[in-house]
Amino acid sequence: MSGIVWHILVFGVIGIFLIVIIYRTLAIIRLPVHLRWELAPIPHEKGKGRYGGSYLEEYEWWNKPQHRSRIAPIVYMAKEIFLLRGVWEHNRALWPLSFAFHMGIYLIVVMLLLSVVNAVFIIAEVPLYVLNVSRGIASVLALMGYLLGSLGAIGLIIKRALDSNLRPFNTITKYFNLVFLGAVFGSGAYAWFSSPDFASEMSLFIKGLITLDAGITLTLSLSLHVVISLLFILYLPWTDMIHFIAKYFAYHEIRWNDAPQDEKMKRELRGLLAQPVSWSAAHVGANGKKNWVDITTKKTSDEKEA
Identify whether residues 273 and 148 lie together within a single domain.
Answer: no
Q: What is the domain count for the chain?
A: 2
Identify whether residues 154 and 110 lie together within a single domain.
Answer: yes
Residue 124's CATH number: 1.20.950.20
Distance CA 94, CA 274 (A): 44
Identify whether residues 145 and 194 lie together within a single domain.
Answer: yes
The answer to whether position 58 is within a domain reads no
Distance CA 232, CA 180 (A): 7
The answer to whether position 31 is within a domain reads yes
Residue 110 domain boundaries:
3-36+86-240
Query: Do 3 and 216 form a contact (C-beta atoms < 8 A)?
Result: yes
Residue 55: which residues within 8 A CB-CB, separation 6 or more?
Answer: 45, 48, 61, 64, 66, 258
Distance CA 153, CA 225 (A): 16
Q: What is the pLDDT of residue 173?
A: 93
Amino acid at 190: Y
Predicted model pTM = 0.85
Identify whether residues 169 and 236 lie together within a single domain.
Answer: yes
Identify whether residues 21 and 129 lie together within a single domain.
Answer: yes
Residue 254: which residues within 8 A CB-CB, separation 6 or more?
Answer: 34, 35, 36, 37
Is residue 286 classed as helix, strand or coil in its secondary structure?
coil
The answer to whether position 253 is within a domain reads no
Per-residue confidence in pLDDT tens, the chain, 306 aa: 666 899 999 999 999 999 999 999 999 988 888 877 777 788 888 877 777 788 888 888 888 888 888 888 899 899 999 999 999 999 999 999 999 999 999 999 999 999 999 999 999 999 999 999 999 999 999 999 999 999 999 999 999 999 888 888 889 999 999 999 999 999 999 999 999 999 999 999 999 999 988 888 889 999 999 999 999 999 999 998 988 888 888 888 888 888 887 888 888 888 888 888 888 877 777 887 888 888 888 655 455 554
Identify whether residues 27 and 155 lie together within a single domain.
Answer: yes
Q: What is the pLDDT of residue 305?
A: 53
The answer to whether position 55 is within a domain reads no
The answer to whether position 42 is within a domain reads no
The answer to whether position 291 is within a domain reads yes
Identify whether residues 224 and 276 lie together within a single domain.
Answer: no
Q: What number of other Cβ atoms are within 10 A of residue 131's Cβ?
A: 19
